[in-house]
Amino acid sequence: MSNQFEVVTDLVTKAWQLPSRPDLLEDCIAFVWEHWEGGGDSSTLIIKFLSTHCGQAVSSADLDFIANEERKRNEQSF
């Protein structure tokens, strides 16, 4: 393993905030390694990685809408 790869691994691991997703951590390290240009901004690359993986994420507003729709359906069935 190259020293540069170890640097990238350390940078990403220290910034990682999803301890329950070590699978994504490994993917993120690979993504940053592929796009990192020897000293570039790893934070920006981490954000780019997460942005591509979170495009289909459910927001709080989505959850509220789903809950309201479910509540309406339950009220109509009574």
Tens digits of residue pLDDT in 10-49: 999 999 998 988 989 999 999 999 998 866 788 999 999 9
The mean per-residue pLDDT over the stretch 3-8 comes to: 91
Phi, psi of 18 (to 5 degrees): -120, 75
Farthest CA pair distance, the chain: 65
Total domains in the chain come to: 1
Residue 59: both structure tokens together: 């927001």
As a whole number, mean pLDDT of residues 49-59 equals: 83
Q: What is the pLDDT, as a whole number, of residue 46?
A: 93
User: Which structural domain range is residue 16 located in?
Assistant: 3-76
Residue 8 pLDDT level (bands cut at 50, 70, 90): very high
